[in-house]
Amino acid sequence: MMFKKVTILAVVLCMVFAMAGCGSKPAENSTETPKEDTSAQGEKPKLSGELTVWSWDVAAKALQEAAVNFNKIYPDVKITVEDLGTDQVYDKMTTGLVANVGLPDVVTIEGERVASFAGKFPEGFVDLTDAIKTDDFLPVKISECKSNGKLVAFPWDAGPAAVYYRTDLFEKAGIKAEDIKTWDDFIAAGKVMNEKVGVKMVPLAASRNANLFGMILNQLGSYFFDAEGNTTLNTDAAIKAMSIIQKMYDEGITYDNTDWDGLVSATQSGKIATVPSAVWWAGTLMDEVPDLSGKWAVMRLPKVGNEGVQAAVYGGSNVMIPAATQNREAAVEFVKFAMTDMDTQITAFTKYGLFPSYIPTYDDPAFDQEVEYFGGQKIWKFFAEVAKEIPELYYTEDFPEVYSRVIDAQAKVTLKHAEVKATLDALQKDITNMLGK
């Protein structure tokens, strides 16, 4: 009978998914939890096994090339590079670390995030202290990679910062770059730029990011935390840096770019005269704004009054090895190779714009090039000089949360015209209450 058939069908269907549930369990299970330790532990020189690498865009491409070079020496190591996108790497790392499964063997992590992951998961990453010759790397990168006195990440690309400026607009406004010695000079020049050319001096995503604040703070040898991990957000340096931001905003020389895309489009359409940013911005300019070739140059960050240095860091990434890796030796060897092999590093730099933090590379002729886009300026050499002067700075595991509070504070002093010292005092109090230090 028809009804019976339908009944049977329904029951069978129910059982099918019940069975599909149970049936695939054991089968998949055996392929998962792989205890098949293929890396023979005895013989050191012969590395083999598989490595999974999580990364994003250019970094992933560069690591892919590093893998090819690495395989010339160690042909038995099979390396798979997954290009996931930045946020996706973090989301997957987070769940993976909490569950302690499903982690890669090698992963790229932005500088400011290293301490956050390593602080929350002190046992989560391989200690690389013995693998890194600290003198060969920029001090600022070494300080980034440190957590609880151990080096938990291998330093990779650095983000020495400077001011990119439009030479044509400066000329039009009658501003001379060499006259801009301090941030006050910079703001004064911005007002001239406003009056004479009608172009905003500097992009500032007041409610979105606090990169410029961070850079100025870094110039003063300070940052959100001190070496002991204490919050230092209402220090003189912090107040000075935030006051500069407020003054820029109040003087009307800022362009609110809201985010990255806004910055690119404002730059393309010539709405801003300078971009204080890191070395990698040069790559963006050359790729995204080819029309303005020859109209850009770089200068040192202005000083804060007569204090601090004219160098700071903005961005850059490092490479970490999750402790859950089944193939630690090969992972360490691969990372060490990728980060210190001259050819690999120079390729990553010239082809993908990843500015090395491995100091020996700076002697390579690639750094001595005159860059046509910047009117023949030797910007790579310039940035290599900047890089060596960047003061050390310290991140903690709470950096992401504190950073978002700093952005809130910046929005208060700019958009809502709050008083700087009071705002930062309140911020400091809030955060010390929350973190206990």
Partner 1 sequence: MNNTIEKSQPNRRRPRFVETRWNIKTAPYLFLLPTIIVFCVFMIYPFVSSFFMSFQELEGGKFVYVGLKNYIRLMKDSIFITALKNTTIYLLIQVPIMLVLALVIANMLNQRFLKAKGFFRVSVFLPCVTALVAYALIFKLLLNTEYGLVNYLLTSLGFPKVDWLNGPISAKISLIIALTWRWTGYNTVIMIAGLQRIPEEIYEAADIDGASSFQKFKQITIPLMKPIILFCAITSTIGTLQLFDESYILTHGGPDNATITVVHYLYNMGFRYLKFGYAAAMSYVLLIIVAILSAIQFKISGSDDL
Partner 2 sequence: MRKNFKPGDVTGTRLIVYYIVLILVAFVSLFPFYVMFVSSTLSTSQILNIPPHLSFGNQLLENFKNLSEKINISRVIFNSLFIAITYTLLTLLLDSMAGYALAKYEFKGKSIIFGIIISTLMVPSQVTLVPMFIMMNKIGWQNTYWAIIFPALANAFGIFLMRQNMTSFPTALIEAARIDGCSEFGIFFQIVMPNMKPALGALGIYNFMSQWGNFMWPLIILATKDMYTLPVALASLEGLMYKDYGMMMLGSTISTIPIIIIFLIFQRQFVSGLIGGSIKE
* Positions in the binding site for partner 1 (CB under 8 A): 11, 14, 17-18, 90-91, 94, 97-98, 116-117, 120-124, 206-208, 255-256, 258-259, 261-262, 265-266, 269, 271, 397-398, 400-401, 404, 407-408, 411-412, 415-416, 434
Tell whether residue 433 is a contact of partner 2 (CB under 8 A): no
Per partner kind, with CB cut-offs from 5 to 8 A, the member of partner 1, partner 2, none near residue 252 is none
Least distance CB 215 / partner 1 (angstroms):
20
* Residues in CB range of 190: below 8 A, 6 or more apart: 200, 201, 202, 248, 251, 253, 273
- How many Å apart are CA 296 and CA 166, to the nearest integer? 5
Per partner kind, with CB cut-offs from 5 to 8 A, the member of partner 2, partner 1, none near residue 33 is partner 2
Per partner kind, with CB cut-offs from 5 to 8 A, the member of partner 2, partner 1, none near residue 129 is none
Q: Give me the DSSP letters along 118-130.
A: HHH-TTSB---GG
Q: Which of 58, 188, 286, 418 binds partner 2 (CB under 8 A)?
A: 58
Tell whether residue 212 is a contact of partner 2 (CB under 8 A): no
Q: Which of 183, 223, 280, 383 binds partner 2 (CB under 8 A)?
A: 280
Least distance CB 140 / partner 1 (angstroms):
24
Beta-strand ranges (E) seen in 226-363 are 254-255, 274-278, 296-299, 317-320
Phi, psi of 112 (to 5 degrees): -70, -15
Nearer to partner 2, 221 or 262 (CB): 262
Residue 336: count of CB within 10 angstroms of its CB = 17
Nearer to partner 2, 98 or 227 (CB): 98
Among left, alpha and beta (phi > 0; psi -120 to 50; other), residue 288 is alpha
Nearer to partner 1, 117 or 186 (CB): 117
CA end-to-end span of the chain? 76
Least distance CB 404 / partner 1 (angstroms):
7
Per partner kind, with CB cut-offs from 5 to 8 A, the member of partner 1, partner 2, none near residue 411 is partner 1
- How many Å apart are CA 39 and CA 380, to the nearest integer? 41
Q: For 146-171, b where at least 16 C-beta lie within 10 A, e where not — what string?
A: bbeeebbbbbbbbbbbbbbbbbebbe
Nearer to partner 1, 94 or 284 (CB): 94
Residues in the chain: 437
| CB-CB contact of 373 with 78 (8 Å) | no
| CB-CB contact of 211 with 260 (8 Å) | no
Least distance CB 108 / partner 1 (angstroms):
17
* Residues in CB range of 144: below 8 A, 6 or more apart: 111, 112, 114, 115, 153, 155, 316, 318, 393, 395
Nearer to partner 1, 76 or 259 (CB): 259
Among left, alpha and beta (phi > 0; psi -120 to 50; other), residue 258 is left
Residue 221: count of CB within 10 angstroms of its CB = 14
Nearer to partner 1, 45 or 436 (CB): 436
Nearer to partner 2, 13 or 73 (CB): 13
Q: What's the token pair of residue 120?
A: 């929350």
Tell whether residue 36 is a contact of partner 2 (CB under 8 A): no
Per partner kind, with CB cut-offs from 5 to 8 A, the member of partner 1, partner 2, none near residue 73 is none
* Residues in CB range of 183: below 8 A, 6 or more apart: 216, 244, 302, 303, 304
For residues 289, 291, 297, 301, the Cα torsion angle rounded to the nearest 10 degrees is -30
Least distance CB 180 / partner 1 (angstroms):
25
Site string for partner 2, 144-183 (x = CB under 8 A): ----------------------------------------
Site string for partner 2, 84-103 (x = CB under 8 A): xxxxx--xx--x--xx-xx-
Q: Which of 168, 288, 329, 430 binds partner 2 (CB under 8 A)?
A: 288
| CB-CB contact of 148 with 227 (8 Å) | no
* Binding site residues, partner 2, CB under 8 A: 2-4, 6-7, 9-11, 13, 17, 20-21, 24-33, 56-59, 82-88, 91-92, 95, 98-99, 101-102, 110, 260-261, 264-266, 268-269, 271, 280, 283-284, 287-290, 315, 317
